[in-house]
Amino acid sequence: MNEENTIKNKRKPINLKELLFDNIVTIMFVILCLIGVKYSGQPMIFIVNELIARISRNSFLVLSLIIPVLAGMGLNFGIVIGAMAGQIALIAVTHWKIAGIQGFILSALLTVPIAVLFGYLTGKLLNKTKGQEMIASMILGFFANGLYQLLFLFLIGTLIPMNNPVLVLSGGVGIKNTIDLSGGIKYALDNIVKFPILDVIVVASIISIIYILFKGLKNKKLTKKHIINLSIFLIVVIASILLNQIQPIFKMIKVPVVTILVVTLLCIFNVFIMKTKLGQDFKAVGQDNHVAKVSGIAVDKIRIISIIISTVFAGWGQLIFLQNLGTLNTYGSHEQVGMFAIAALLIGGASVSRATISQAIIGTILFHTLFIVSPQAGKNLLGSAQIGEYFRVFVAYGVIGLSLGLHAWKKQIQAKNKLKV
Amino acid sequence: MVETMRDVTKKLGFARTTIIAFLIILCVMAVFLKIPIYMLLSDTLVRTGMNGILVLAMVPGILCGIGLNFGIPLGIVCGLLGGLISIEMNLRGFSAFFIAVIISIPIAAVVGYFYGVLLNKVKGSEMMVSTYVGFSAISLMCIGWLILPFSSSEIKWPIGDGLRTTISLSSRFDKILNNFLSFHIGKVNIPTGLLIFFIISCLLVYLFLNSKAGITMKAVGDNPKFAIASGIDVDKSRIIGTMLSTILGAVGIITYAQSYGFFQLYQAPMMMGFAAVAAILIGGASAQNAKISHVILGTFLFQGLLTIALPVANKIITQGNLSEVARVVVQYGIILYALTKVEGGK
């Protein structure tokens, strides 16, 4: 990304403009969400409550996209395949009637070999379609969906013996369209422990304060940034405690702590892996295939590894998603996974070649805020809830198209500037 | 014998040989399962004509260098608009059909122009961008269908707001081309009008491709650098190709609708682009090169596969929708196969 830096340095006077330009999607969404929240007329408590459920449900899937982006493969539209792997494991576990957290852990374990295999095959294919990874992974998702339907509609009951009236259609062939997970892994992860939101914020802030202090003591120096962060967290702690006293209604909003912890673990993993040799290889491959190859990195292998990791995480992400939802739509649950996750990531300000954890989280919050408020806002503003529904679908597709377009456009401009230099 | 076989397979390529073989096997099975083969043949002919122009829309796109035009839903939306306006004007019969076509062409031309400008800005990522442009156009028009001020009772829901999801053409121009001059050979029904319309469209595109503008466009698609060196305005040629592709998409959906008997609004046209892409790829086109013959062969093979597979599959497995699953696997499998060749070509 050296070129990008030099170009940026040259245009220092218009830095603010560039900052706006780079984050235009996110800024637009903040405005859209504010408008939506205002006109939906829904109480804040309801929105926050929904939002927390959705963040814990979806952010794992969004985070699973980051590693391939860093490895220069663009957005992995193929996480649908990971989601399928998760669902295959889930159906098996439901069949064996293993419920609760044991069922969840077992399906998570089962997901791994399936997703590794799928990811490996995806990686192989994407190595054959270098430069077109995104469209190839998207079409691959559609293709895999056909094979998935073949498996569950025709092979179950004929080639694969399965005698389970709860799961199999009355004719004895094929899995039912919707599977109720309420006797199985529904809320397996979410319901382990739930705490009121403000308590969680207080504890998380205190942990962060201790961490910053610890780091500061270790380096024997507190920088300006540290002090600013410390004061922010202190204000948050005080504000939360005060809010707890004034507005007892906040105690009603509960956070599924374990789910959030799992998501945090994934964030830590993502940070950690970038510091290892493998992470450096990802970065090197992401910046320049050719240079990476010359410096002795097995480019193809690294690319396959990044897709495998992404696929496995997507499988787990789908499990988290489904345990919260409580019903598995056998032939539909996975279809939109990729699109929604990618839209969320892009809304957070990520691009095809750059994505961070904070972008993923911010994007998830913004995207789902819009999801919660848009039907009601559409009804209040335009007199039809249906318009709001279609609007959010349009937004999801539109934002992906816009981001991909902007990215390609920037690349073209960069190429031209390079020629001039 | 083996030599000629090998020659033929080499010319057709692995994918096409497999599909042709599969089609022949299906036909044989159909005979054994006592499915009336003449019915299947008539259906295949109808569906070839019905989908043909949508597939034809891929040709200018591929030749001008924007690759497989996954953004064809843009054209489809323009066609739907033209069709609805024609119903709104209370026309019937041939005039209804041709007015629909005539109205939709300028709309599609304008839309195609801006779409072309956009695609010029995103060179190198056209396929990805166009896919999402198509998706967002369809979802934007979902809002459009809810608020457009049409007043004809055939178009609007009797109660509530917005347009119907499917609009019947039975009193307008349902099967008007199919039935024009149609005749029977044995028990096979030949939809003459439909086929003539398809072939005329092919001919027009062929003539265009051999005109000066068409040849310039092909040069641009073949080798943009060489085209610049010979003083061709690359961006302009690409815009012309995109416009033509969008216009053909619009005409294509009207032809499709008259044969199908319905206009389908809202989400229905979302995935139509993929079927058209798959059809031309089956015919032998690649992301860089396409011919009219690829369109005709591809549409025939793909639609033949679908029509013949359906009753055969239903005879073998009574449960579920195997042919639909087979369509998904074949359609996306063939697109994937073509995408792996994109890199191989470079």
pLDDT digits (tens, 9 = 90+) for A224-255: 777 888 888 888 888 888 877 777 777 777 88
3-class secondary structure, B317: coil
A83 vs A174, residue with greater confidence? A83
pLDDT band at B108 (very low <50, low <70, confident <90, very high): very high
Question: Using alpha carbons only, what angle is made at residue B8 by residues B2 and B10, rounded to the nearest 5 degrees?
Answer: 100
CB A195 within 8 A of CB A258: no
Nearest to B200 by CA among B167, B168, B177: B177
Measured in whole angstroms, how far is the alpha carbon of residue B201 from the centre of its chain? 12
What's the total number of domains in chain B? 1
Q: Rounded to an integer, what distance in angstroms lies between the CA atom of residue B176 and that of residue B299?
A: 21
Report residue B225's pLDDT band, with 50, 70 and 90 as the boundaries. confident
CB contact under 8 A, B139 and A390: yes
CA distance A125 to chain B (A): 8
Q: What is the mean pLDDT of residues A11-25?
A: 68
The one-letter code for the residue type at A328 is L
Question: How high is the pLDDT of residue B320?
Answer: 63
* Predicted local distance difference test score (pLDDT) of residue B319: 65
Alpha carbons A340 and A62: distance in angstroms, whole number: 8
pLDDT above 80: residue A341:
yes
Of A132, A154, A394, which has the smallest distance from its Cβ to B339's Cβ? Answer: A132
* B127: contact with A, CB 8 A cutoff: yes
Average pLDDT over residues B26-55: 86
Is the minimum CB–CB distance between A147 and chain B shorter than 8 Å?
Answer: yes
A90-133 pLDDT, tens per residue? Answer: 988 988 888 888 889 999 999 999 999 999 999 999 988 887 88
Kindly state whether residue B235 falls inside one of the protein's structural domains.
Answer: yes
The dihedrals phi and psi of B152, each to the nearest 5 degrees, come to -65, 135
Do B193 and B180 form a contact (C-beta atoms < 8 A)?
yes
Flag whether B277 is in a domain.
yes
Checking if the pLDDT of A11 tops 50, the result is: no
- The pTM of this model reads 0.85
* pLDDT > 80? residue B334: yes
Over residues B73-94, the pLDDT tens digits come to 999 999 999 999 988 888 888 8
**CA neighbor of B82 nearest in space, from B110, B48, B119:** B110
For the ranges A77-81, A183-187, B314-318, the lowest mean pLDDT is seen at B314-318
The CA distance from B109 to B293, in Å, is 25
CA atoms within 13 A on the CB side of A84: 25
| Residue B5 placed within a domain | no
Give residue B7's pLDDT: 76
Tell whether the model's pLDDT for residue A372 goes beyond 90: no
Structure tokens at A29: 């969404």
Residue A5 has pLDDT above 70, yes or no: no
Express each pLDDT in B261-297 by its tens digit: 888 888 888 888 898 998 988 888 887 888 888 899 8
Cα B266 from Cα B140, distance rounded (Å): 9
pLDDT at B47 over 50: yes
Least confident of A170-184, B62-76, B92-106: A170-184
CB A119 within 8 A of CB A311: yes
Q: Which helix (H) or strand (E) holds A327?
A: strand A327-329
In a domain, B110, yes or no: yes
Contact A136 B322 (CB under 8 A): no
The answer to whether B174 and B255 have CB atoms below 8 angstroms apart is no
Spell out which residues of chain B touch residue A386, defining contact as CB-CB under 8 Å: 146, 162
Q: Please give the Cα distance from B29 to B316 (Å, whole number).
A: 10
User: How confident is residue B116, by pLDDT bands cut at 50, 70 and 90?
Assistant: very high
Lowest mean pLDDT among A86-90, A275-279, A321-325, A401-405: A401-405
**pLDDT on residue B78:** 93
Residue B318 pLDDT: 67
Query: How many beta-carbon contacts under 8 Å exist across A and B?
Result: 136
Is the pLDDT at A12 greater than 70, yes or no? no
Q: Kindly report the nearest CA distance between residue B16 and chain A, in angstroms.
A: 18
CA gap A357, A150 in Å, rounded: 36
Q: What whole-number distance in Å separates Cα of residue B309 and Cα of residue B118?
A: 39
Which of A82-91, A130-139, A352-361 tops mean pLDDT? A82-91
* Whole-angstrom distance, CA of residue B246 vs CA of residue B116: 10
Let me know: does A190 contact A335? Beta carbons within 8 Å: no
Judge whether B292 lies within some domain. yes
Positive or negative CA dihedral for B200, B206, B208, B210? negative
Higher pLDDT, A414 or A124: A124
Assess whether pLDDT exceeds 60 at residue A280. yes
What is the rounded average pLDDT of the residues B175-187?
79
Domain that includes residue B84, residue range: 12-339
Q: How far is CA A90 from the centre of its chain?
A: 20
Residue whose pair of structure tokens reads 């692995």 in the numeric block: B14
DSSP B68: S
Which of the two residues, B130 and B39, has the higher pLDDT score? B130
| A-proximal residues of B, 57-96, CB under 8 Å | 70
pLDDT > 70: percent of chain A: 96
Is there a domain that residue B7 lies in?
no
Whether B6 maps to a domain, the answer reads: no
B110 in contact with A, Cβ within 8 Å: no
What pLDDT score does A114 carry?
Answer: 94
- Burial code of A385-397, b = ≥16 C-beta within 10 A, e = fewer? ebbbbbbbbbbbb
Residue A390: band (very low, low, confident or very high) from pLDDT cuts 50, 70, 90: confident
Q: Is B147 among the domain residues?
A: yes
In the DSSP assignment, the letter for residue A160 is B
Question: Which residue is associated with the tokens 């040989």?
Answer: B17
Inter-chain touch A150–B329, beta carbons under 8 Å: yes
- Average pLDDT of the residues of chain A: 84
Q: What pLDDT digit, counting tens, does each position of B206-219 carry?
A: 999 999 888 888 88
Could you read off the pLDDT of A286-316 as tens digits, one per residue? Answer: 888 888 888 888 888 999 999 999 999 999 9
What CATH code is carried by the domain that includes residue B241? 1.10.3470
A143 to B162: CB separation less than 8 angstroms, yes or no = no
Chain A residues 378-397 with a CB less than 8 Å from chain B: 382-384, 386-387, 390-391, 393-394, 397
pLDDT of res. B345 = 37
Q: Is the Cβ–Cβ distance between B325 and B316 less than 8 Å? A: no
Digit-coded pLDDT (tens) for B134-144? 999 998 998 88
Q: At residue A223, does pLDDT exceed 80?
A: no
Residue, of B45 and A41, whose pLDDT is higher: B45
